[in-house]
Amino acid sequence: MAKIIAGLGTSHVPAIGVAMDEGKTQEPYWKSLFEGYGPVRKWLAEVKPDVVILCYNDHCAAMPPDTIPTFAIGVGDEFKPADEGWGPRPVPVVKGDPDLAWHLVESLVLDGFDLTIMHQLQVDHGLTVPMSITCGQPKEGPVKVVPIEVNVVLYPQPTGRRCYALGQAIRKAVASYDKDTKVVIFGTGGMSHQIHGERSGLINKEWDTAFLNDLTANPQRLVDLTHVDYIRDAGAEGIELIVWLIMRGALNDQVKEVCRHYHVPASNTAAGLIVLENR
Amino acid sequence: MKTIKEQLEDIPGTYVFTKERSRLGLHLNLFCTSLLKAANREEFLRDEPAYLAKFPLTEEQRRAVLERDWIGMVRLGANIYHLSKLGGTDRKTFQYMAGCMTGMTQEDYRAMMLAGGRSIEGNRSKSEQKTGA
């Protein structure tokens, strides 16, 4: 029997990946951000999941402007790091789990979630940075990954409510997978940030803190947030936080917060991280 | 009661990537997508006007690309994530592009971020800014 044992929410700021790739994590600008990642790396190494279901958004590297799936899933054996305009990150090829991925496809589509199925998917910083944050810099992919990609670029993005419901359907799908598999689910992106327009640089710590608090104890408040709420209060690109609701929906109603970290700034962004274990 | 579109357009200094902007900027964004390939980046940098001639851009869009008028490109339908491919071609970061769009100097923008970023207070809506509420 497969089981989701925990969820992890994290930002996926590209500059965090660059800082690791260029060996800058001990520089004054980055030091305290990376110190906060210690506990989560230790936790993940102890938990040792067989698979990570990694929910993220592509930033127009795999998804061109003329084809925009609302939800997509990677069913390949492996996923290569994408060239995002400055060459691919020097990180290992991401290992897939086609058996679990195809099981999810079948279960989710029959359950009413019509995901786009991708044999090939080049993964950008949205996926590779969370792997680096949680696993450091291994030579080979440390864990199998099933990528679930969400459109957060073009309005209308899926609603937070729909993302949460997808998470609930993923929970059901994993529970019906017959291989003994320990799963951790990631929701990535955010937290508050805006990187276009004259309002660039927006950070809303109070809003982010409330989001982290309610993720554990009161996710129903977050499920009710609208597109306007995210874009106005967490910044236009802060709407990535809807992806965290997939992760939360895949967990039990009762969860325990294991650790949390929040740091401003990582480039233009408030970098947040939280680990929730099923109770 | 304002429509969702009116509410989105009421957010100051923000250009939500809507169906209108997606249609307006399709070819500009397709040009950016072409820069995902290293060979195309080299070709573009060798002769920018010749490379741009392959894409059915408007004159305004062409000018904005050549001048690296980042806020201009956004107003003409470019999405920031597509623009990051042009930024990458120039070896510029998201922080550089965002800083340019605010009209602040790079130093001032970086200092603002280090001090905790731009406050939400007074930046929620254009109507709030007008009334000074």
Mean pLDDT of the B73-93 span: 97
Asked if residue B2 belongs to a domain, the reply is no
B26 and B59 share a domain? yes
Residues A139 and A40: their CA atoms lie apart, in Å, by 19
Asked if residue B24 belongs to a domain, the reply is yes
Given an 8 Å threshold on Cβ–Cβ distance, is B113 in contact with A227?
no
Phi then psi dihedrals of residue A88, to 5 deg: -65, 150
Given an 8 Å threshold on Cβ–Cβ distance, is B81 in contact with A82?
no
A199 in contact with B, Cβ within 8 Å: yes
Would you state the pLDDT for residue B128? 84
DSSP string, A167-208: HHHHHHHHHT--S-EEEEEEEE--SS---SSTTTTB--HHHH
Partner residue opposite B80 with nearest CB, options A85, A86, A196? A196
B24 and B72 share a domain? yes
Asked if residue B6 belongs to a domain, the reply is no
**Helix or strand (DSSP H, E) at A12:** none
CATH topology for the A2-278 domain: Protocatechuate 4,5-dioxygenase; Chain B (3.40.830)
Task: Kindly give, in sequence order, each residue whose CB lies less than 8 Å from that of residue A252, ignoring residues fewer than 6 positions away.
Answer: A278, A279
Mean pLDDT of the A83-111 span: 98
Task: Kindly give, in sequence order, each residue whose CB lies less than 8 Å from that of residue A160, ignoring residues fewer than 6 positions away.
Answer: A222, A223, A224, A225, A230, A242, A245
Residues A264-279, buried b or exposed e (16+ Cβ, 10 A)?
A: bbbbbbbbbbbbbbbe
B101 in contact with A, Cβ within 8 Å: yes
What CA dihedral angle connects B101, B102, B108 and B111, to 10 degrees?
Answer: -90
Percentage of chain A exceeding pLDDT 90: 100
Partner residue opposite A85 with nearest CB, options B11, B87, B95? B87
pLDDT tens digits, A145-190: 999 999 999 999 999 999 999 999 999 999 999 999 999 999 999 9
- What is the β-pairing status of strands A255-266 and A94-95? unpaired
Would you state the pLDDT for residue A217? 93
Is omega for the bond preceding A265 within 30 degrees of 0, making it cis?
yes
| Chain A interface disruption, residue of B123, B124, B128, B129, most A CBs within 10 A | B123
The interaxial angle of helices B94-102 and B80-89, nearest 10 deg, is 110
**Among A70, A177, B16, A15, CA closest to B3:** B16
Give catalytic status of residue A193 as yes or no. Answer: yes
Q: Is pLDDT of A240 > 70?
A: yes
Given an 8 Å threshold on Cβ–Cβ distance, is B116 in contact with A194?
no
CATH code (residue B19) = 1.10.700.10
Domain count, chain B: 2
Please provide the average confidence, as pLDDT, over all residues in chain A: 98
Q: Is pLDDT of A12 > 90?
A: yes
Q: Domain boundaries in chain A?
A: 2-278
Q: Is the full-model pTM beyond 0.95? A: yes
Mean pLDDT of the A129-133 span: 98
Q: Looking at chain A, how many residues does it have?
A: 279
Would you state the pLDDT for residue B1? 77
Would you state the pLDDT for residue B131? 74
| Chain B interface disruption, residue of A33, A123, A196, A239, most B CBs within 10 A | A196
Q: Is pLDDT of B14 > 70?
A: yes
Please provide the average confidence, as pLDDT, over all residues in chain B: 96
C-alpha separations of A233 from A42, A193, A194 in Å: 33, 9, 10
| DSSP reduced 3-state for A150 | strand
Our separate counts of H helices and E strands in chain A read 10, 10
pLDDT tens digits, A98-125: 999 999 999 999 999 999 999 999 999 9
**Domain containing B47: what range?**
14-91
B31 and B85 share a domain? yes
Would you state the pLDDT for residue B129? 84
ipTM for this prediction: 0.96
Question: Tokens 């279901």 identify what position?
Answer: A53
**Among A234, A155, A190, CA closest to A56:** A190
Asked if residue B7 belongs to a domain, the reply is no
DSSP state of A83: B
B110 and B82 share a domain? no
Residue B127: pLDDT band with limits 50, 70, 90: confident
B76 and B123 share a domain? no
Give catalytic status of residue A263 as yes or no. Answer: no
Question: Tokens 């947040």 identify what position?
Answer: A272
Partner residue opposite A198 with nearest CB, options B13, B30, B80? B13
Would you state the pLDDT for residue B132? 59
B78 and B116 share a domain? no
B80 and B27 share a domain? yes
Mean pLDDT of the B56-79 span: 98
B19 in contact with A, Cβ within 8 Å: yes
Given an 8 Å threshold on Cβ–Cβ distance, is B74 in contact with A197?
yes
Percentage of chain A exceeding pLDDT 70: 100
pLDDT tens digits, A193-238: 999 999 999 999 999 999 999 999 999 999 999 999 999 999 999 9
Asked if residue B3 belongs to a domain, the reply is no
Asked if residue B43 belongs to a domain, the reply is yes
B120 and B87 share a domain? no
Residues A151 and A173: their CA atoms lie apart, in Å, by 22
> Quick one: A17 exposed, middle or buried, by C-beta within 10 A (0-12, 13-18, 19+)?
buried
